[in-house]
Amino acid sequence: MPLLADDFGHLSYTVTGDGPPLVLVHAGVADHRMWDAVVPALAERHTVVRYDLRGFGESAPPTGPFRETDDLRRLLDHLGHARVRLVGASWGGRVAVDFTLTHPERVHSLVVLSPPWPRYPWSAEMIAYDGAETAALAAGDLDEAVRVNLDMWLRGPARGWEDVDPSLAEELRGPLRTSLANQEAVGEHSQGPATGDLASITVPVLVGVGRLDIADFQDIARRYAAEIPGAALVEFPASAHLVALDAPAELLSALDPFLAR
């Protein structure tokens, strides 16, 4: 994969297809490969840009202060894309929202799938998950930390492992280990999310969430849809948190007419 370097590391990215530029930003428990199932179809009509956030996949962990929105701006400048269609999943969804607030002139349309909400009052279930991950990492048990995250974000609270394609867990295991190993460095150097009024977003927006996701994120998705003027909400009945993995065909069906606008 090509690299975009700076004083504090490098970003790894890939470009596929031809047409209006479309940028996919991965979840915080994955890397650019989480979009593999949807890229071939998207690349028939778009120039699809995927990249690994700092400390994920093949992008180096940060060694100095950075902002995810600055990284995305620099990548678009490097590739010569003045304005893009932007799709983000989970933490990548929040990065996409922040980028739209910070650089509204660079965004043609926005899709966010199960994004977090800053300072959200998390449920007891989410607090327990965070405690379990923290304890595993403090004990140096990376395998247990990976298991905790797979349980929460891939399986979800509403189904058993027998209902999940086992290949998906294997696909996520490596990216999860990388993200967890680099979590401390990313947290130390990240300058935090952008601030802005969601009501100021004027581009077309689609908010997506899996009906099998934890209730917190279903509530958050409804908040985004309510706060962003004209935003549409779509629910994916067969998906937990990671829609692109659980329901790629259904996601493409939702994206196709929206991205054609």
Residue 206 corresponds to which tokens in the numbers above? 């689609």
Cβ-proximal residues to 116 (8 Å cutoff; 6+ apart), any chain: 90, 91, 93, 94, 217, 220
What's the pLDDT at 51?
98
Residue 136's φ and ψ, nearest 5 degrees, are: -65, -45
Least confident of 7-16, 175-184, 232-241: 7-16
193 Cβ partners below 8 Å, 6+ apart? 94, 98, 118
pLDDT of residue 7: 62
Average pLDDT rounded to a whole number, residues 58-77 = 94
pTM for this model (two decimals): 0.96
Q: Is residue 109 predicted with pLDDT exceeding 80?
A: yes
| Gyration radius of the chain over CA positions | 17
Average the pLDDT over 60-70 and give the result.
Answer: 93
